[in-house]
Each structure stands twice: as C-alpha cells, then as structure tokens.
Amino acid sequence: MPVTTDRSTGTREFDALIIGAGFSGLYQLHCLRDRLGLSAQVLETADGVGGTWYWNRYPGARCDSESHSYAYYFSKEILEEWEWSERYPEQPEIMRYLNYVADKLDLKRDIRFNTRVASARYDEDANRWRIATETGEQYAATYLITAVGCLSSANIPDIPGLDSFAGDCYHTGQWPHQGVDFTGKRVGQIGTGSTGIQAAPVIAAAARHLTVFQRTPNYSVPAHNGPLSDDFKRYMREHHDEIREVMHSTPNGHPFRIADRNVADVAPEERLAIYEKAWEIGGLRFRAAFRDLLLDKAANDTAAEFLKNKIRSVVEDPETAEKLANIDHPYAAKRPPIDTHYFETFNRNNVSLVDVRAAPIERITPSGIVTADGEYPLDVIVFATGFDAMTGPLLGIDIEGRDGMTLKDAWSAGPKTYLGLAVAGFPNMFTVTGPGSPSVLCNMPVAIEQHVEWITDCIAHMRANGINRIEADPEAMEKWVAHVNDAANATLLPSVEHSWYLGANVPGKPRVFMPYAGGMTRYRAVCDDIAAKGYEGFRKSGNHQDTGRNGSTVGDFAPAAAIDTPGV
C-alpha cells in the first residue's frame, strides 16, 4: 500500500521502492516491510516472481550451485519446510521455491508485475526518488533499491540480416513459456557458455540436427546430477547451521571448502589422482581441488591440461575433439560451466560443431547462418549469447542523481561504486549485487542475503539517527574501485580478453573488471567494519546525532598480496 497517492499527479508515494522480484527483490521487500515496518513496493517487468528463473526457461536450464546452498538461509522455517529433489534443481523447481517463499511471506501483494521502470530521478529538494514506468505511472520514495540482477539484460549480437531469418529465433534468457518444439527441426545454437553447454544436449536429443556455433571453446566438468538421497535430505535438514557456517567462511559462498594446498605441494601422480577424484565428484567442486588455481598460471595449466585430456577422451572424432579442446584461457578464469553429457553430445550423428573463430559468422539469411566457410541451413536459431552483465540492467533505466548527473555519464568509462552497493552522486540509492560486489563470483544467494541485510541495517541506522540522506563519498568510492582492481589483478581473472566479467562480450562496452574478486568472506568483513564505524566513507546529512565519520576517511581495504583465494 502506498503511504499516500498525490491526487494532482497520481504519484504513488512509498518509503522505499525496489526494482526487481528475483532472489534479491523478494528478500529486500521482506526486510524493509516486515522487519523495519516501511511502506515498500516492488516494481517488476515480468508477470511473476523469480527473476533469472522466470526468464531462463531454455531446455536444460538448471542451477549449478548445489540445491542445498542455492536457497535463503535467513529463515529456519523456510529451510525446514522446503525440500529439494536433486543435486542441481531444474528451473521449474527453483520457480516453485521462489513462489513458495513469496507466498509464505505474503510478498506478492506488494509487488506490481508487468511494470518496467523506465526512469528514476533524484529530487534533491524533496529528498525523494521519482520513478516513472514504461507506461507512464509515477512513483516516489525516499529509498531506491535496485535489485535488477547481474544477468537480466539479454545480449543478442547484431548480426547483419538477423531480421530476415524466416525461421524462429530465441534468446535463452527470454525463452517462451510454452516451450519450443524442436522435433524435425535443424537448429543452430550460437554460444558455448554455461547456458549453451546446458542447452545443447537437450536440444540435440529433440532436434533433427543441431549445429553448435562455437567462438570460444570452453572447459566443462560433469555435474553428476541426480536425485538427492534420503540420507542427504536428512543431513540438510539437520545441519543448516553447519552448512551456513561453511558458506559464510569460504571465499565463494559455496557449501564446500577450497583445499588448503597448492598444486606444487603434491607430486604429479598425486595431483592426477586429486583431479580424477574431483572429476568424479564433479560440478564446481572441481575448482576446489587446489588453492592456487586462480592465482598461478603454472598451477592452472595442470588443471587445464587435465580437462582438455578429458575432452579428447570423451569426443570420438579427433578433429571435433581438437576444436573443443583448443581452449586459450585458464580454467575458471571465465565462469566455469558444469554439464550433463555436453561433450558426449558431439558423438551424436545429428550434431556438428562449427568453429566461428576460424570462420566468423558473416550474416544471417532467410534460410540460415553464413560463415566464412559457407551457409548452414536452419529452421531455428538459439542465441545462447549471454548478457550485458552487471551494468546492462542498471543502464537500461534512465537514472539521474544529484545535480542532473546521469548514471550513464557517471559510468561512461566503466562502472564505479562504493562496495557495489552505492554510487557517489546518487543519494539513498542502493544497488544489490552492483558492479564492484562479489556477486557473480560467489554463490549468489549468499551474496544477496548479505547485501540485502546490510542495506536494511543501513536504512534502520539512518532512521534511528535522524539521517535523511546517505551518499557514497567520491574519494571512498575511488578507493574501493582501486581495491576491486587490485583484487582482480592479483588473480588470473582479468587475463582473459573475451570475458563478460570485463564486458568484452558487448561491443563498445568499457573494458573494466566488474565483480569483486577478493572473496565474499573478506567483503563481508569490510562491509561490517564500515557499518560498525557509522557507515564510514558515506556522507550523511539530516538532524542526526551520528557518531560515524563522514566522508572519505576509509583506510586501505587490503593489499593485493593479501587476496588469497578469489571467488568462483
């Protein structure tokens, strides 16, 4: 319910507006409405909750965080009531889960669906954010929280002739709810990231023929998905606290620890045995085999070689195997996919692989895709081409802060934030999993719960202390940006030129390493420390008796050398 509706303008007035009804927006609404007692409204483009899981309904879509960790941990009751069925839940099961949470907490009554936010403008005199939707509805609130997701802005490459294609085209992140029938169809799939690697085996099983257009070959480790045993379900029910403790004390928020050993600590035969065991366990746990895989190229080379040999041993046609194994980046320096029979799919006689780095896509015609090697006739094109990650959804809204400064201008050379949570010049605006936060390098529900709780505590602090306005100090923000760069540069992550972490997948996007690679544990400690010091590095104004220090008094966050095991 709005606090009031301004009769002359029709503006609906709230304490807080939240954009997005995925994992982040749902929990943010619960915290602000039910814990702080604020009037809060979520605005959401989709006609239901779920975010990522509402949009990504492509064949094979499932989580690659393990189910017992891909969940909210703030409510014991929710943890006890919900039971996952598989090691990696499928998209419909995650949608059921998020709907269950939204219903249990009675959230939907305060979510306005089918409502895309087009603009948000900070009105300095009134100290209010004024929001307009695509259809012209007006809202206003003191606090604006963007929970728009890191991976919610589909990236469809601008290939000449795309509009002329006579068949059907789909982006995996905008998949039709009624599904797609591939029976008897010649399907072309562009993209071999986490999505393409999940989708290809399932599409191949249904289609007449699948042609995979691969630009960058990729590693993948078998997920070894399957139903959860009764024993494991009991373990999950009885050990929530221990599982949470592990997730909160590892850099990447997953429910397993990264081994405390370096590759060079073990002899080559033992190393191989460790990799074999990690391969058998499967999933993202492979990455936990050694501590220094993302710190030391020579260490990483051993994992890379092991994984490339696995590809060669699975794929029967040597030429196809070499195209798949011709990987030019360190393992896990791009988001490491996990799969169910991805490489095996290339042994099917209805599947072929096209190397579009060797022979680039030139254009799309009414009947197919043309590369430098000729035309591939197709009935359907699937774009598994990823997202304009992290900045795309935020810059998709026309956001204007203090003194007419737009977010587009503020970020023209790449995003800058303080902690990934706030931007100088944009008072009382909080960005859940914004650029500069660990977010995509972490098991995201862990990061999301931390961000949402930190924002909630910050707003509670403001209200308790008569602070009307809080804004990141520019100098503190610059220090954080420098720290984010240092953290990334201490790892192999920025060495990959064709990584969406750097924005390289979107033509013209500034090349800036966006997520915080210093690990979730360190990040949480920094955020807690800043809050404990009265929100150090923020400018506060109002009638407050605040004891915290205003402005850019923040110290150095951590020397680059101290960044041990990064997220992922």
157 near ligand N01, judged by CB under 6 A: yes
356 near ligand N01, judged by CB under 6 A: yes
Surface-to-core class of residue 225, CB atoms within 10 Å of its CB (0-12 exposed, 13-18 middle, 19+ buried): buried
Cα separation, 352 vs 373, in Å, equals 14
Residue from 99, 385, 437, 443 binding ligand N01 (CB under 6 A): 385
Stretch that binds ligand N01, among 61-69, 232-240, 306-314, 317-325 (CB under 6 A): 61-69
Closest by CA to 122, choosing from 393, 420, 398, is: 398
For residues 280-309, which are near ligand N01 according to CB under 6 A? none
65 near ligand FAD, judged by CB under 6 A: yes
29 near ligand FAD, judged by CB under 6 A: no
Closest by CA to 563, choosing from 516, 499, 529, is: 516
For residues 109-128, which are near ligand FAD according to CB under 6 A? 116-117
* Partner whose binding site includes residue 384, from ligand FAD, ligand N01, none (CB under 5 to 8 Å by kind): ligand N01
Residue 317: phi, psi to the nearest 5?
-80, 115
Q: What residue type is 532 in one-letter code?
A: A
70 near ligand FAD, judged by CB under 6 A: yes
Closest by CA to 226, choosing from 185, 281, 300, is: 281
Find the shortest distance in angstroms from Cβ 200 to ligand N01. 11
* Partner whose binding site includes residue 180, from ligand FAD, ligand N01, none (CB under 5 to 8 Å by kind): none
Number of residues lying near ligand N01 (CB under 6 A): 26
Angle at 328 between CA 326 and CA 329, to 5 degrees: 135
Contact string 212-241 vs ligand N01 (x = CB under 6 A): ---xx-------------------------
342 near ligand N01, judged by CB under 6 A: no
By beta-carbon proximity to ligand N01, the closer residue of 94 and 131 is 94
* Partner whose binding site includes residue 43, from ligand FAD, ligand N01, none (CB under 5 to 8 Å by kind): ligand FAD
157, 505 Cβ separation under 8 angstroms: no
By beta-carbon proximity to ligand N01, the closer residue of 90 and 564 is 90
Residue from 20, 188, 427, 434 binding ligand FAD (CB under 6 A): 20
Residue from 79, 131, 148, 263 binding ligand FAD (CB under 6 A): 148
CB atoms within 10 A of CB 38: 21
Give the helix/strand (H/E) hosting 210: strand 209-214
SS3 (DSSP) at 23 = helix
24 near ligand FAD, judged by CB under 6 A: yes
Find the shortest distance in angstroms from Cβ 305 to ligand FAD. 26
Residue from 440, 459, 476, 490 binding ligand N01 (CB under 6 A): 440
Stretch that binds ligand N01, among 12-20, 307-315, 380-388, 420-428 (CB under 6 A): 380-388
Stretch that binds ligand FAD, among 49-57, 77-85, 400-408, 519-527 (CB under 6 A): 49-57
The percent helix, strand, coil of the chain (3-state, each to 5) is: 35, 20, 45
Closest by CA to 335, choosing from 67, 51, 65, 87, is: 65
- For residue 229, the 8-state DSSP code is P
Find the shortest distance in angstroms from Cβ 318 to ligand FAD. 32
Stretch that binds ligand N01, among 59-67, 129-137, 227-235, 545-553 (CB under 6 A): 59-67
Distances 341 to 220, 225, 311, 398 between C-alpha atoms, Å = 10, 11, 11, 43
Question: 62-97 b/e with 16+ CB inside 10 Å = b?
Answer: bbbbbbbbbbbbebeebbeebebebbbbbbebbbeb
* Partner whose binding site includes residue 190, from ligand FAD, ligand N01, none (CB under 5 to 8 Å by kind): ligand N01
Cα separation, 100 vs 413, in Å, equals 41
Q: Give me the residues paired with residue 209 across strands.
A: 186
425: left (phi over 0), alpha (psi -120 to 50) or beta: left
Residue 209: phi, psi to the nearest 5?
-145, 140
Residue from 443, 450, 491, 499 binding ligand FAD (CB under 6 A): 443
By beta-carbon proximity to ligand N01, the closer residue of 186 and 215 is 215
Stretch that binds ligand N01, among 13-21, 161-169, 194-202, 267-275 (CB under 6 A): 194-202
195 near ligand N01, judged by CB under 6 A: yes
* Partner whose binding site includes residue 54, from ligand N01, ligand FAD, none (CB under 5 to 8 Å by kind): ligand FAD
By beta-carbon proximity to ligand N01, the closer residue of 216 and 345 is 216
Give the helix/strand (H/E) hosting 222: strand 221-222
Closest by CA to 530, choosing from 562, 552, 515, is: 552
Find the shortest distance in angstroms from Cβ 212 to ligand FAD. 18
Closest by CA to 397, choosing from 132, 139, 157, is: 132
Find the shortest distance in angstroms from Cβ 254 to ligand N01. 12
Closest by CA to 206, choosing from 377, 382, 386, is: 382
Residue from 32, 190, 455, 493 binding ligand N01 (CB under 6 A): 190
Dmax (CA) of the chain: 77
* Partner whose binding site includes residue 519, from ligand FAD, ligand N01, none (CB under 5 to 8 Å by kind): none
Task: Return residues touching ligand FAD (CB under 6 A).
Answer: 19-25, 43-46, 51-52, 54, 56, 61, 63-65, 70, 116-117, 147-152, 195, 393, 396-397, 432-433, 443-444, 448
Q: Which spans of this chain sit near ligand N01 (rule: CB under 6 A)?
A: 62-64, 151, 157, 190-196, 198, 215-216, 335, 356, 361, 384-387, 440, 498, 500, 505
